[in-house]
Structure 1
Amino acid sequence: MALVDYASSDEEDEIVESTSTSNANAAQSLKRKREESASDLPPLPSKFHDLYASTTRVSTRDDPSLHGGRKRVMPHVEGNWPTHLYIEWYPSTTEYSSLDALVSLLKDTWPPEATDLKVNSFLTSDLGAPLPLHISLSRSLGFSTEQKDEFVSAMERAIQSSTVRPFVVSFADLDWVSNFENTRWFLVLKVLKPDLNALNKLLHISNSVVQEHGQPPLYSKPATTKSDVKARNHSGKRRSINHNSALLYKDMQDLSSAFHISIAWTLTDPSQELLDLTKSAKLNHFDPVKQIQVVVEDIKVKIGNVVTSLPLPKSVNLGKSLFGA
């Protein structure tokens, strides 16, 4: 019977080491392939994010301690549904990194115990998950149960009969702005005026429907002349408007300087030190952000925890009025 040629202990070590190296190389190669495949995947559809837009309600009253010191802008009223109109944006991994570089220079400026001076990021949740950003098209609104469905239907009719097609926005500047109540300040990306004045048109449509339902408009300038006052007093009435662009947006205001995306916030008026840091961040890290282009294909209506996506029309039907009448 032939003797079996067993490997020596030295040879066994070499075999084990070779096998381990081979397995490690294979695992690393597989990881690279997965990362490359992931980077090539198309973004998730907008409606997928809408399914998971709800948040857990942890209190039935306004408790700033649960929200980093923030106070509710619109007091909670039983039976009222908090409502918001906005354009939503999920930054890609590369875009997120560019934005994070801006915020990271600012948010750790002060010690953790100085909560009033703390800069808080809008980019991620408390658990580090990426969050969507948005361009507001309304204030915080409140509708009764009887009103909310009709409001969504009215917005859908207005958008579908509008002349606003999908468009692209990009960013012009980095700045700090306050809310209407001066209770919070926001680090914002100022938005460049897009082609065909699309943002002003969307806001004009949104404000018209909002006022029609007894709610205040967003960014609307105060009326200064008698004719302005008369037009403003009649702005809440349902109307049929010819789709000639000169008539459709006849009373539209140019509010281009007001549009922005908030990426961080603080509870106090930014100090000179914070303004200097912001200027430094803009000088050193803003160029990649200026290259970002956000494609706008729909607007969101969030009522309570339910989000409805209203797609912009791909083509324009000239036979209908603004409100589908």
Structure 2
Amino acid sequence: MALVDYLSSDEEGEEDKEPDTSIKDTTGKLKRKRDEDNNASDLPPLPSKFHDLYASTTRLSTKDHPTLHGGRKRVTPHVEGNWPSHLYIEWYPATAEHGSLSKLISSLKDKLPPGEATKAHSLLTSDLGAPLPLHISLSRPIGFATEQKDDFVSSLETAIKSSGIRPFVVTCSGLDWVANFEKTRWFLVLRIHKPDADGLNKLLHVCNSAVQDYGQPPLYAKGTATKGEGKAKSARGTIKGKMTNQFSSKAHWSDLQDVSDAFHISIAWTLGSPSQELLHSTESTSTDCFKDFAQARVNINEIKAKVGNAITSMPLQTNIQEAKGLFGF
């Protein structure tokens, strides 16, 4: 809102004078207008914590009503006192990247029959057209009892901090379709190149260790049984202390599993298994359009834990000194 330009005492007697319309005054105003426009375009992006405040939509029902969610069914049934949770990396594509992804999805739909095209739903924008964040999952949909949830978040924060994993960058390798664990939805995804220093596998290993210590199932684990057979340890500080020690030496990574092929970023979804025509169109779209997006870089500086509607950001360490024994890369 502009400030009111009040007259000074020296100007009160000059109200009847002709306004100054000289070229100098006009060009000065134009210059100020250009400067204001340039400054507006140079504003920094909103911090990620701002988005966390408005990350959750209003709950329409505690029961499973697929008609309220485009036919989607709740994977984990709602249980009173159980807090649905998810660990993930969040990414807000830049304007150019968002445009390339939108073009890619539109190109795919254009290659499909009308009835088939309407079954694919974009994850790039909300129903009102607002850009949405994209995710790299680091856990399955999991849930914690009220007395567990705060201890879990604290334990995971400690484990991330002591793991020595530094910020890193990932790039995407192509398009594919993958199903959720229950085969109730299929997702159009961006496959991810294995990053330097194996950061994604290490983050997943830390997260899997955390959720398993609380009796929750791991993500992408190969032949690993859930520890504790679903019974979480309840003593405050027991798990936190264990995990702090667990990530304090290089020997910890000796049992690291490589599941690089499983990591992805979902950009669209459909309820049914993709038809052969959709798979063929996806392959040709990846060949024709993906090159516009292949150079996009996803900077990974933190992970997020969403427990209920509360989101906790856990930054990766940037000031680790290898001389102190924590394993930098």
Give the TM-score taking structure 2 as reference length.
Answer: 0.80
Q: In structure 1, how many angstroms separate the alpha carbons of the residues matched to 2:181 and 2:167?
A: 29
Shift of 1:251: 1.6
Q: Deviations over 1:59-110 (max 9, x none)?
A: 1101111111111111111110110000000011100001011111234634
Residue 292 of structure 1 is matched in structure 2 by 296
Q: Secondary structure at the match of 1:126?
A: coil
Q: In structure 1, how many angstroms separate the alpha carbons of the residues matched to 2:326 and 2:299?
A: 26
Residue 123 of structure 1 is matched in structure 2 by 124
User: Contact 1:176/1:185 (CA < 8 Å) preserved in 2?
Assistant: yes
Q: Deviations over 1:229-252 (max 9, x none)?
A: 7x9789x9735336342x021221
Kindly indicate whether residue 43 of structure 2 is the aligned counterpart of residue 41 of structure 1: yes
Q: In structure 2, how many angstroms separate the alpha carbons of the residues matched to 1:110 and 1:148?
A: 46
Residue 17 of structure 1 is matched in structure 2 by none
Q: In structure 2, how many angstroms separate the alpha carbons of the residues matched to 1:30 and 1:143?
A: 54
Residue 265 of structure 1 is matched in structure 2 by 269
Q: In structure 1, how many angstroms separate the alpha carbons of the residues matched to 2:56 and 2:91?
A: 16
User: Contact 1:84/1:301 (CA < 8 Å) preserved in 2?
Assistant: yes
User: Contact 1:241/1:321 (CA < 8 Å) preserved in 2?
Assistant: no
Q: Deviations over 1:205-256 (max 9, x none)?
A: 0000000011000000115xxxxx7x9789x9735336342x0212211010
Question: Which one is further off, 50-59 or 133-142?
Answer: 50-59
Residue 194 of structure 1 is matched in structure 2 by 195
Residue 181 of structure 1 is matched in structure 2 by 182
Residue 164 of structure 2 is matched in structure 1 by 163
Residue 6 of structure 1 is matched in structure 2 by none
Residue 235 of structure 2 is matched in structure 1 by none
Q: In structure 1, how many angstroms separate the alpha carbons of the residues matched to 2:209 and 2:42?
A: 41
Kindly indicate whether residue 151 of structure 2 is the aligned counterpart of residue 150 of structure 1: yes
Q: Secondary structure at the match of 1:290?
A: coil
Q: In structure 2, how many angstroms separate the alpha carbons of the residues matched to 1:306 and 1:160?
A: 20
Q: Deviations over 1:95-135 (max 9, x none)?
A: 000101111123463446x79x6000000011111000000
Kindly indicate whether residue 253 of structure 2 is the aligned counterpart of residue 252 of structure 1: no
Residue 248 of structure 2 is matched in structure 1 by 243
Shift of 1:165: 0.5
User: Contact 2:215/2:227 (CA < 8 Å) preserved in 1?
Assistant: no
Q: In structure 2, how many angstroms separate the alpha carbons of the residues matched to 1:233 and 1:75?
A: 22
Residue 87 of structure 1 is matched in structure 2 by 89
Paired letter, 1:215: Q
Shift of 1:285: 1.2
User: Contact 2:165/2:317 (CA < 8 Å) preserved in 1?
Assistant: yes
Shift of 1:42: 2.3
- How many aligned positions are there? 286
Shift of 1:40: 2.7
Match of 1:307 among 303, 311, 320: 311
Residue 12 of structure 1 is matched in structure 2 by none
Q: Deviations over 1:170-210 (max 9, x none)?
A: 10111011111111110000111111000000000000000
Q: Deviations over 1:140-197 (max 9, x none)?
A: 0011111100010001000110110111111011101111111111000011111100
Paired letter, 1:46: S
Change (3 A) 1:305 1:289: same
Question: Which one is further off, 156-165 or 97-106?
Answer: 97-106
Q: In structure 2, how many angstroms separate the alpha carbons of the residues matched to 1:31 and 1:183?
A: 53
Q: In structure 1, how many angstroms separate the alpha carbons of the residues matched to 2:34 and 2:108?
A: 34
Name the Cα RMSD after superposition. 2.8
Q: Secondary structure at the match of 1:250?
A: helix
Unaligned runs of 5+ in 2: 1-25, 233-238
Q: In structure 2, how many angstroms separate the alpha carbons of the residues matched to 1:145 and 1:233?
A: 19
Paired letter, 1:262: S
Q: In structure 1, how many angstroms separate the alpha carbons of the residues matched to 2:188 and 2:198?
A: 24
Unaligned runs of 5+ in 1: 1-22, 224-228
User: Contact 2:320/2:326 (CA < 8 Å) preserved in 1?
Assistant: no
Q: In structure 1, how many angstroms separate the alpha carbons of the residues matched to 2:45 and 2:139?
A: 26
Q: In structure 1, how many angstroms separate the alpha carbons of the residues matched to 2:35 and 2:186?
A: 42
Change (3 A) 1:101 1:264: same
